[in-house]
Structure 1
Amino acid sequence: MEYSIGIDIGGTKIATGIVGQQGNVRYKRIHPTPNSTNREIVDLLKQTVSEYMKLATEENINLVSVGIGSAGQIDYKNGRILSGTVNIKDWNNIDIRESLSHTTNLPIYLDNDANTFAIAEHQLGSGKGVDDLVCLTLGTGIGGGIVSDGNVIRGKWGGAAELGHMSVNFNGPDCNCGSKGCIETYASGTGIANRMREKLNSIDAGKRISYTEHPDMLTSKEVFEWNKTGLPEAKEVIDQAITALSFGIVNMIHTFNPSLIIFGGGLAEANRWLIEEVQNKVNAIGMPSLVKGVEMKVSKLGYDTGLIGAAYQVWATSK
């Protein structure tokens, strides 16, 4: 069996592993994402690749590639990080392929982490056998990947499908992309926490303290917990997130005409009930001929989807 080294680079952690062509993860490690310089991350990648190559030699594992998925805007053709994300410090203008070429003679693939998520789901997960689908990763931010007629849509150099930065309100909150009212500002973990802070700042101080003494430490997890208890302010924030996500998905369905929407990421995994809420709202507000029959599912591969998709690039590309 052929194997590939997979590397999934996120804002808080970097998952690495040796992954087989059937999606089986033979070895796996989790590293905290270095937060000082990009050189630290590149050095970690070099060390990881070297260690896995040595392990593969010792255990007679047939390695055929190194596949990397990373947050940020990726020059897919040339293997470069063009511009990163606020969650990863100094993650801009880095030639990953060139840096790792001194460590391995294996072919090196680099893509946006939402695209690698889409590759994994299309080839092995909830989208297996479906050639027109949209993938959304709901976490700290919102990533997007699109498969049309069996192919990942990347655009001119790899920057397509920034679906989390589709605006649903031009008078909405400022987004770190420079626009306003992006889906991410309402329905990502960061967006939900920010909208809840605004609610807390507008209510009586005594009541606010009874919810949290440190609103700056608030996360979406608390907001979802408060929503369960019936806290009106939390319910407003979650309802707003569902509405923003639903209108955004209607736009995606009207644009790409998929047959399936797949959700991944920590926020979706922890709150699967959201998907049914979004499905019902999309069916109510979308063009009937387009939204009818569009299924919505949570990732079948779970938390390893990004790692598997990163490693799988070599096989997806060769088909």
Structure 2
Amino acid sequence: MKAIFNPGTSKKALTLMDNIVYSTVKDLEGNPLELKLSVLLQNGNSEMRAAVGEDDPKEDHTPKPALVWIPGGGWKGCDKNLMLGEMTEFANAGYVVVSIYYRSSAEGHYPDQLIDVKTAIRFVRAHAAEFEIDPDRIGIFGRSAGGHLAAAAAMNQDGFDSEECSGYSSKVQACCDMFGPVDIPALMEVEEKKFSDPNFRWHKVEETHGGCLLGGDPATMKERGAMASPVNMVNPGMCPIQILHGDNDPLVPVEDSSERLYQKIVDAGMEDKVDYYVIPGAGHGTREFFQDATKELQIAFFDRYLK
């Protein structure tokens, strides 16, 4: 068989750059630890450049807005690329997706994780030209524990900055928090009610995800957890935030987390800075969050503030 096939040229090629060291820190035992990120973007025909020394002439290398992806996993550590396959829609929409690894709760206690996130944001700005990023248009998004850290970074508060890439800002212009535990003491109280169940996986507050994140004296965990909770960080300098949460979440009940964050923002007179969507029937990270319609909603939100 012989035929003429014309696929057109509307779709741009994606390139993945992996294992880029953005920070060197120490773990809880004082050992050096390299933190890495990956970058997914429309970057022309990378294999063509390697083979013939030039790019497809149709490619456009204009700087793009970036989205920093913060993985979840209960702050226990999660491969930065585990959900990267779900990020292609954002890259195809013209965003540079930067997915990061941050210190797990076994490698550092809060605020180490927020420090890592803010360092990654500054690194992205410092290397914006290398990754075809517009440094003035950086958003952040994450799920579960990553949603908590994304929301904390979205508050754009001073502090929690390391000396790495110190000449650059760690502020972001838009955020999407997907079912993040943004009120840590409330999460602990939900879990404490289950301690009497012999089949429950935890029986002490220090064993919980939040307890492992905070470390230290169990007697002060709730007090310190309150300071680590975005519900208590709301301020006029925060960026616009989109919140997505299922009303059937058994791990992070919506009324104990996202509902409280939304109400805090509204009470502060900044309802114009928050879009809050409750997804009926959705659990903790169930497939409703990765449907095309959900991603279209997220992309439309980021487009509003970053394009």
TM-score, normalized by the shorter chain, greater than 0.5: no
Relative contact order, higher structure (CA 8 A, sep 6+): 1
For the aligned pair, the TM-score class normalised by the smaller chain equals 0.3 to 0.5
Compute the TM-score of the two structures, normalised by the length of structure 1. 0.33
Compute the TM-score of the two structures, normalised by the length of structure 2. 0.34
